[in-house]
Each structure stands twice: as structure tokens, then as C-alpha cells.
Chain A
Amino acid sequence: MLTAGDAWRALEGVPDPEVPVISVVELGIIRAVVVDDAGAVAVTITPTYSGCPAMFEIEKDVRSALLAAGAAAVTVTTVLSPAWTTDWIPESAREKLRAYGIAPPGKADGGALVTLTRARPPVPCPWCGSAATELRSEFGSTACKAIHVCTSCRQPFDEFKAI
């Protein structure tokens, strides 16, 4: 019968639909996995952003991966609390993001309420490593990314926004 460890391993094989280089587990959106005596799995997930359109896709992928791994049944529950933060992404996954061309997130700002101007240093280019980069927009191709451009290698790149 499926164990909780098997379930977690199955989920580690589910890529994030928008950033397929890391898994939904590495992204930190799988909050809990409980397997009951009958082999039914209850998964708790949390969205990265309130309006993340990938949540339905993720739920479907989670369900089919667990069923394929031998789960007797799968229920997926979405919770908002505690709110997802990029601080949950482990160092190993950050390296994968960088290699994929997405600058990994910096430290989330925690309690700081409002900074009307963006004070943090330039984000290093994931392609050439240069610090000579410019922020183009804090809103990118998905809700979780910002757009930068490197003035050294002249490549645009995404940054995983810290939240």
C-alpha cells in the first residue's frame, strides 16, 4: 500500500506547470500529505498568488500522479494560511531556477509594510552573472515573476519575485 513517503516522492515528480524546472514540492505549495489506512491520500496545497491560474492544472497533475503511484483515492484541499512565501523554496531549487534562466528570489520583506521605491540592489543576471542589470517591470510573464534586462550580455531575464 502507498505510504506517505511514496506519496511525497510521487509529488516530487510533478513539475510546476509555469516553471517546469522545479517540482510543486520544491515550490513549497504542497503543505501536507496524509495517507489513511485505506490508501486514500489527502493533499493540502496553497496558491502562490491569489489569482494563480495554474492552480487547477496543479490540482489535476497532483491527482493523476498520486493515482498513478497507487493511491486508492485523492482529495486536494486548498488553503490560504499560512500565506505562501518564496522563502520556502530550498537552495537546491534556487540553483535549478538560475540554471534555467530565472533569477531566484531574494529574501521576502517580511514585516516591512510599504516601500514606495524599490531600494534593493540589482538582481544578478542568471546568464552571465553580471550585476549590471536593470529592472524593467515588477510584473512579468506570470504573477510570480518580474522582468529585468542585463546590460552586460544584453539578455532579458525573469526574476522570481520575493513575496
Chain B
Amino acid sequence: MAESEELGIATGEAQAGGRAVAGASRGPVLGPPLVEYLLRLGDDRLILGHRLSEWCGHGPILEEDIALSNMALDLIGQAASLLRLAGEAEGQGRDEDALAYWRDGVRFRNALLMELPKGDFGFTVVRQFLVSAQSVFLWEALLASTHEGLAGVAAKAIKEAKYHLRHASEWVVRLGDGTPESHDRVQRALDDCWRYTGELFAQDEVDAAVAALGITVDMASIRARWDQVVDDVLQRATLTRPADGPMRHGGRVGRHTEHLGHLLSVMQSVARAHPGATW
């Protein structure tokens, strides 16, 4: 199967309803499961970290400008560790910089939720909450990963993710249980994000292959704990949990929204304008 077929798969309406977007013969081309899995974990953090970094100098108040930039740094640092592991598993001499700056959009494996534009502060906070809750429980499970390098990243990242989750939870409550305007905005953000949450827990043959080796866990157990935290915080925030409708998928196999290309054009521009530059 030609790899270029990845490029031919449309995003947008073709994915509506979470239906398969192409016949079985035209599925995407994926690499070895361990490489794919590490790219998924790494790209989630790289792309979300970049979105958070867009707040640097634009935060609503100084403390939040600093907080969002701090979290961006944590996530990009985690991404660097994960992409380094992915490069080692791939064995073709690509390091974390090569993977971050020299892959095109169809090679990125982040969940679609990560690449959505940063929106207003409410949207950023809601997305951060939904993702941080998944991260905390996932990292906790990965502490026991049979992949030593990944378990090491998990031990480091869980400490950071806990701070991220508490920060986002406090803001979801503050804004949800705040003014009518702040309540409406975070409720809208929650409604907008919800259709992308299914992908955070989706499992395909890549996940099954690495789970069989004890590298990762069944995401259903993560989902159950995520549900509890989400319900708890939303209730305190007087927000309504959206119904589980059709979920959007595609990022894990390189089918992205139009937003990713714009993000990469910024994120990769310096590295590509000055290949091999050091400072």
C-alpha cells in the first residue's frame, strides 16, 4: 500500500459520526506499534504544549500568563523525552528535534483535541482539564510499564500533571460557578471539546500490541477514573456534562484537522529555515 494514500484521506465531514473514513484497503500506513505508541504520547504533549505556549505574553492576568507558559514547558519537556524514546525505538537515527521539526502533518499522531486553536481562556482551561485528568491517571498506570524508559518518563511527568490538573480544576470551578458570562463560555467550551474526548481513550491494534507486552494498560480503566474526576469537578462548577454523541477520531493515524498544518507552519519554521542551526 502506497504511503501517500495517507495524504488522500479527507478530514472534516468524512469523519463525522466516527464512521470509518475509507475502505479497509485504504487504511493508513502505521509504523511498528511501539514507535507509533510513543509518538502518540509524545505528539499529544508537543502539540498541546505548543498551543499553551501561544498564551505567553497574552495571558488574561500575569499569574496565568506565567502558569500557562510553565505548563507548556512541562509538556514540551515531556514530549522531548517521549520523542527521544520513539526515535530510539525506530532506530533510524532520528532524535527528538528531527521528529518534532521535520515530520509533516500526516506523520503526527496527536489526538485532534490537542491541535484545536487555543480559543479564549475558558476553552484553554476546559481542554487542559480534560487532558490533564487523562494524563494523571495514564501516567499513574504507566509507572508500572514494562518499558523502562517510559516508566521513567511517567514517574517524572505524573508530578507535573498533578499540578496541571489541580490548576485546571480550580479554574473550571471558578469560571463555571462564576458569572453568567464565564459560565456560558466554559459550558460552550465543554460542549465543543466533548466530541474529541473519545479519542483520548480509543484503542486500536497499536494500543493492543503494546498493551499485550505490558507497556501500556487497558484505557477502559483510565476512562472510569477520568469519568469520576470529570463528574466531580463539573458538578462543583455547576456545569452540565454533555451527552456522549458521535466522537471525532483520526489524529492517531495522521488524519488531522486543518488546524494542525497552521500550527506546524509556526512551530517548525525556524528549524526549517536554518537546518542544523545551534546556539
Contact = CB atoms under 8 A, between A and B. Distances in A.
B88 to A, nearest CB: 14
A161 B166 CA distance: 14
B152 A80 contact: yes
Contacts, number: 95
Nearest to B45: A50
Interface string A102-117: 0000000100011111
B56 interface: no
A100 interface: no
Given A114-B165, A118-B166, A139-B66, A51 B140 contact: no
B152 A53 contact: no
A116 B151 CA distance: 24
B257 interface: no
Contact of A143 (B73, B140, B152, B166): B73
Contacts of B76: 51
Interface stretch (B20-28, B107-115, B153-161, B187-195): B153-161
A63 B76 CA distance: 25
Nearest to A82: B155
A49 B67 contact: no
Contact of B77 (A50, A114, A136): A50
A73 interface: no
B163 A161 contact: yes
B182 to A, nearest CB: 19
